[in-house]
Amino acid sequence: MISTITILGKALDPIKNFEQFRHVEIESREPFEEKSFYSKIPVMYWDRSKGNNPLLNIPTGCLMVIFGRLERHPQLGLYVLAEQIRHFPSNLEK
């Protein structure tokens, strides 16, 4: 089974009752369609820390590139275990 994943998305708020996780919003489109739909994917940083966690320190609304792998959580189901994270401020000038 292939489990390596790369996603580009927008950082959303941490997930209530799961302090180590946060949602990342991704945009999807059907081929030849202009209409977008959005999905929320749960993500957790690889060291599973709550303290100085780079994933949780990224401001809400910033774009993120995440390299990681798929894992399974008993209550959340599939989530991305982030191994590398890059983020871009939401106030970038054009």
CATH number of the domain that residue 34 is part of: 2.40.50.140
pLDDT digits (tens, 9 = 90+) for 39-67: 999 999 988 776 788 999 999 999 999 99
> Is pLDDT at 87 greater than 60 in this prediction?
yes
Q: Is residue 36 part of a domain?
A: yes
Amino acid 47: pLDDT: 84
Instruction: Say what the pTM is.
Output: 0.83
Q: What is the pLDDT of residue 35?
A: 87
DSSP 61-85: T-EEEEEEEEEEETTTEEEEEEEEE
What pLDDT band is residue 90 in, cutting at 50, 70 and 90? Answer: low
Q: Is residue 94 part of a domain?
A: no
Number of domains in the chain: 1
